[in-house]
Amino acid sequence: MVKKSGRVVLALSGLTLCVAAFLFLFPVADHHELPDSVGQEDEHSDGQEPITPIPLEVKLDARKVALGRRLFFDPKLSHDNTVSCSSCHDLAKGGVDGLPFPVGVGRREGKINTLTVFNSSFNFRLFWDGRAASLEEQMDFQLKHPDEMASTWDEVTAKLGNDASYRRDFSSIYPDGIQISTVKDAVSTFERSLITPNARFDRFLRGDKQALDQDELAGYGLFKNLGCISCHQGRNVGGNMYEKLGIVGDYFIQRGNVQEIDYGRYNITKIEEQRHDFRVPSLRNVALTAPYFHDASASTLEQAVAIMGKYQLGVDLSGEEVRKIVKFLNTLTGVYQSEAGK
């Protein structure tokens, strides 16, 4: 255990490193176009907290949302007609599959843990390594990946073109009918509708000071004071920067069995300084999205918090500290609009 006298120094050193990366290397910014309401200040937020509420609604074309939803649940997008977007992004399970690694066509297992589709439009890049700049671009990787959908755009558009109802629905919205661009647009529009507003913490930010109990408030205080907030802030409580996994301690040496997937951002840029850098995940609905980390190495939120304290901040958190932080994280669970009857 780290002594209390040393804890402050280590926590501050970890915080300094995170803040330095945050301010100078990875500025907070949305790098792709978002719905009209995204980016507007919430009228009930006083702007004093490092986390801001999710908007209660976004302005989207309802016809595109409906068409995109149909495509999202349709296994025709996969080569063997067995896997849909919803197979790995189950809306009833926090937008993930609950598995360590996704299972694609031919029951082939992927190599990296599934990130939630909920609130994904608020992330500045997509995937753990940030390879995609938009939801539209992201579809290329998943559709073509041999361990996921193993398909091609020619195959997908041909299948959809053979379906009279899809021809009708596309032509009623898009003058060009079924095209790669229109399929991407429909699915991405639906995904932009997958927001989870009105979490208890959002209600707290909007002025309901009774929304959190004392333990949850104490957990939020620890979350800020220990330095977690330096990487997990903003509307998505993350998702707006890259950071190295293992700032204070070498996570991968301790875990062992290092794989190519563990190199993170380095696999895209080949910049040595970015080895083991990952896009910071959003903590929205994090209580629903176990297991955690790109390697699914933490099966519970308690384990994940303790690991983050050790390797990102240099702090051995006590059981009570972990409990309170987890209580705070549970207040980030929002409400998917279909569940609210909207």
The CATH number given to whatever domain includes residue 313 is 1.10.760.10
Residues 215 and 323 grouped into a single domain:
yes
The per-residue pLDDT string of the chain (342 residues; one tens digit each, 9 = 90 and over) reads 333 334 433 443 444 444 433 333 333 333 223 333 333 334 334 458 999 999 999 999 999 999 999 999 999 999 999 999 999 999 999 999 999 999 999 999 999 999 999 999 999 999 999 999 999 999 999 999 999 999 999 999 999 999 999 999 999 999 999 999 999 999 999 999 999 999 999 999 999 999 999 999 999 999 999 999 999 999 999 999 999 999 999 999 999 999 999 999 999 999 999 999 999 999 999 999 999 999 999 999 999 999 999 999 999 999 999 999 999 999 999 999 765 444
> Which residue is it, tokens 């920067």?
241
Dist. CA 238–CA 93, nearest whole Å: 20
In this structure, are residues 170 and 71 in contact, taking their beta carbons and an 8 Å threshold?
no
Answer yes or no: do 213 and 245 share one domain: yes
Q: Return the number of other C-beta atoms located less than 10 Å from residue 270's C-beta.
A: 10
My answer on whether 77 and 140 are in the same domain is yes
Is the residue at 339 inside a domain? Answer: no
- Say if 337 falls within a structural domain: no
323 is a domain residue: yes
Q: Is the pTM higher than 0.75?
A: yes
Domain range holding 18? Answer: 4-56+196-330
Regarding whether 276 and 228 lie in a shared domain, the answer is: yes
* CA dihedral sign of residues 314, 100, 231, 252: positive
* Helical segments of 153-292, H only: 153-161, 164-173, 180-192, 200-205, 214-225, 251-255, 266-269
Same domain? For 284 and 222 the reply is yes
Number of domains in the chain: 2
* Catalytic site positions: 148
Residue 235 lies in a domain: yes
Helix (H, G, I), strand (E, B) or coil at 268: helix
